[in-house]
């Protein structure tokens, strides 16, 4: 797999929005490992990225050569159902204002991070980038997915009209250490890890999981995603969107059984079929990322799950000691 060049990154001055978040921490660590000395992570209390004056102040202060836009209002199926308006507004305005002000203030390159939720609900797998406009996204996360999808439209329009170098990446569902384990807003892997470990600790005989278990997903380890983003930021300068994935598909039923086994939970799995499955299938075609900038995921799924579970257990022990 291709590796980012230290000589390139030593000359960059990078803003990473969302750099203190789950994916952001991994991207910042990767940039540092590549020799990038100037990395600025704006905090929401200092810069409201939905507002142009705050973004102007940020860009004029930092004078970046590159912006990697990771910041997002995001959550699982439940959070998407409860916050469709917020997720639409926050994600649309952050992206639109950041790209516009970056253009006006002469930022040389912008990396926009999209979402697999932008893909149509019913689509044959693996999803190819050219299929993005072949239908409406899955309803529960459509406002979020469409808001992020507009950044692709903006990036391509700005490249065409202004020659602005903005690229657009589509990572599949991520997982790994530092993920969000909140029951109210977590995605499926951290939610299941927490459920299994909590039930094991309380000696409960069963856990309840949403849906039927028939839906499938693809998962990319967060460090692999960070490597893909850093490679693209260095090497990719074209208008076409690029998928970042691991190239495999697993059913939610098999995922639950795998996590139960790895956490040592031996109870029953009760499927709450009154709750939605979300998109029926998700799996990305990852050929373009490999062809354009040499990206290929390295971490095995079982290995990544073990690291994620071990990290979460360590965090819980730290909280107990406090």
211 dihedral zone (left: phi>0; alpha: psi -120 to 50; beta):
left
Position 207 confidence tier, pLDDT thresholds 50, 70, 90: very high
Distance of CA 245 to the CA centre of its chain: 11
The confidence score (pLDDT) of residue 1 equals 62
Evaluate whether residue 258 is within a structural domain. Answer: no
Q: Which structural domain range is residue 39 located in?
A: 6-176+220-247+277-298
Please report whether residue 151 resides in a domain.
Answer: yes
What are the tens digits of pLDDT across the range 131-190? 999 999 989 889 999 999 999 999 999 999 999 999 999 999 999 999 989 887 788 999
Q: What's the CATH code of the domain at 29? A: 3.40.50.720
What tens digit of pLDDT does each residue of 49-106 get? 999 999 999 999 999 999 999 999 877 777 778 889 999 999 999 999 999 999 999 9
Residue 197: inside a domain: no
Predicted pLDDT of residue 278: 81
Within its chain, how far is the Cα of 234 from the centroid?
19
Res 288 pLDDT > 90? yes
Domains held by the chain: number: 1
Residue 69 belongs to a domain = yes
Buried b (16+ CB within 10 A) or exposed e, 285-297: bbebbeebbebeb
Question: Residue 64 falls within a domain, yes or no?
Answer: yes
Residue 291 within a domain: yes
With respect to residue 108, please indicate whether it lies within any of the assigned structural domains: yes
Show which residues are catalytic.
Answer: 144
pLDDT at 13 over 70: yes
CB 125 within 8 Å of CB 141: no
Instruction: Decide if 34 is inside a domain.
Output: yes
Q: Read off the pLDDT band of 279 (50, 70, 90).
A: confident
């Amino acid at each position: 797999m291709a590796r980012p060049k230290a000589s390139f990154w030593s000359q960059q001055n990078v803003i990473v929005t969302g750099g203190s978040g789950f994916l952001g921490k991994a991207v910042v660590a990767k940039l540092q490992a590549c020799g990038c000395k100037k990395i600025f992570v704006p905090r929401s209390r200092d810069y409201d990225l939905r507002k142009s004056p705050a973004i102007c102040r940020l860009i004029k202060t930092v004078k970046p050569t590159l912006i990697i836009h990771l910041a997002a209002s995001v959550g699982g199926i439940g959070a998407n159902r409860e916050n469709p308006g917020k997720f639409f507004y926050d994600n649309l305005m952050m992206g639109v204002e950041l790209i516009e002000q970056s253009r006006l203030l002469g930022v040389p390159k912008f990396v926009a991070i999209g979402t697999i939720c932008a893909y149509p609900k019913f689509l044959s797998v693996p999803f190819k980038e050219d299929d993005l406009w072949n239908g409406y996204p899955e309803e529960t996360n459509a406002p979020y997915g469409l808001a992020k999808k507009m950044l692709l439209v903006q990036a391509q329009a700005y490249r065409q009209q202004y020659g602005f170098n903005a690229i657009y990446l589509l990572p599949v569902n991520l997982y790994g250490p530092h993920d969000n384990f909140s029951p109210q807003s977590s995605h499926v892997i951290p939610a299941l890890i927490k459920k299994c470990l909590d039930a094991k600790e309380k000696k409960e005989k069963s856990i309840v999981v949403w849906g039927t278990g028939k839906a499938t997903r693809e998962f990319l380890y967060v460090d692999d995603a960070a490597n893909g983003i850093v490679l693209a930021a260095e090497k990719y300068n074209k208008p076409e969107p690029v998928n970042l994935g691991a190239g495999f598909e697993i059913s939610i039923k098999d995922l639950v059984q795998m996590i139960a086994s790895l956490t040592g939970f031996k109870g029953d799995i009760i499927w709450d079929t009154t709750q939605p499955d979300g998109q029926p299938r998700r799996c990305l075609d990852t050929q373009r990322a490999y062809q354009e900038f040499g990206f290929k995921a390295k971490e095995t799924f079982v290995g990544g799950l073990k690291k994620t579970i071990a990290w979460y257990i360590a965090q819980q022990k730290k909280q107990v000691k406090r």
